[in-house]
A = this chain, B = another copy of it.
């Protein structure tokens, strides 16, 4: 498998975690988002979405959207499951993942930040306030969701799930603009548990071949 991705892309990071958790080897193909490589001929001709991550299977099929990719990997490589066995548990884990992937992350995408600066002419501080606002508000909602669940080591249960694959990159992401994570005990306990796990360590941006310190 080949994973087209970018060290700092949160959605790419989610898939790298899943691949590491399952112990699946893959070729890392860097696509430099800040240099706009995702919109240039090479990548755009094979990825109609022009988005990373994009997973190319050994048979040549190409998959997009991080949560869809992770669920595919979980179905085809069921060892180390990333979703609970029961339908209700799966619904809870998917909802936690979507609380991040649909409510927080889209607002702080590179293309959105560019629009704020180029079209709405906001200054750096206003842009960072926007960024922190959505991360903080979204994680407060996430914390309330966790608080409604039984206590557990990770977001849901005592093994990592799709929800943890989404949470960890979001925490990294918000740190870049100094978001406060005060008062989010369940969320940060799950994050800390993940970061003590070698798969999450291995997948983090600083361990990527295209990392820029």
Contacts and interface: CB of A to CB of B under 8 A. Distances in A.
Contact of A69 (B68, B91, B126): B91
Given A87-B75, A90-B75, A65 B144 contact: no
Given A65-B98, A101-B102, A133-B115, A49 B87 contact: no
A48 interface: yes
B106 A91 contact: no
A119 B131 CA distance: 13
Interface string A70-105: 011001100000000001101110110011011101
A188 interface: no
A72 B75 CA distance: 16
A55 to B, nearest CB: 9
Q: Tell which of A64, A101, A145 has the most Cβ of chain B within 10 Å.
A: A64
A141 B103 contact: no
A76 B87 contact: yes
B67 A98 contact: yes
Contacts of A126: 120
A35 B207 CA distance: 48
Contacts of A106: 102-103, 106-107
Interface of A: 48-51, 61, 63-65, 67-69, 71-72, 75-76, 87-88, 90-92, 94-95, 98-99, 101-103, 105-107, 112, 115-116, 119-120, 122, 126, 129-130, 133, 141, 144-145, 147-148
16 contacts: A49-B99, A49-B144, A64-B95, A64-B99, A65-B99, A65-B102, A68-B98, A69-B91, A71-B94, A72-B87, A72-B88, A103-B106, A107-B107, A107-B112, A119-B130, A120-B120
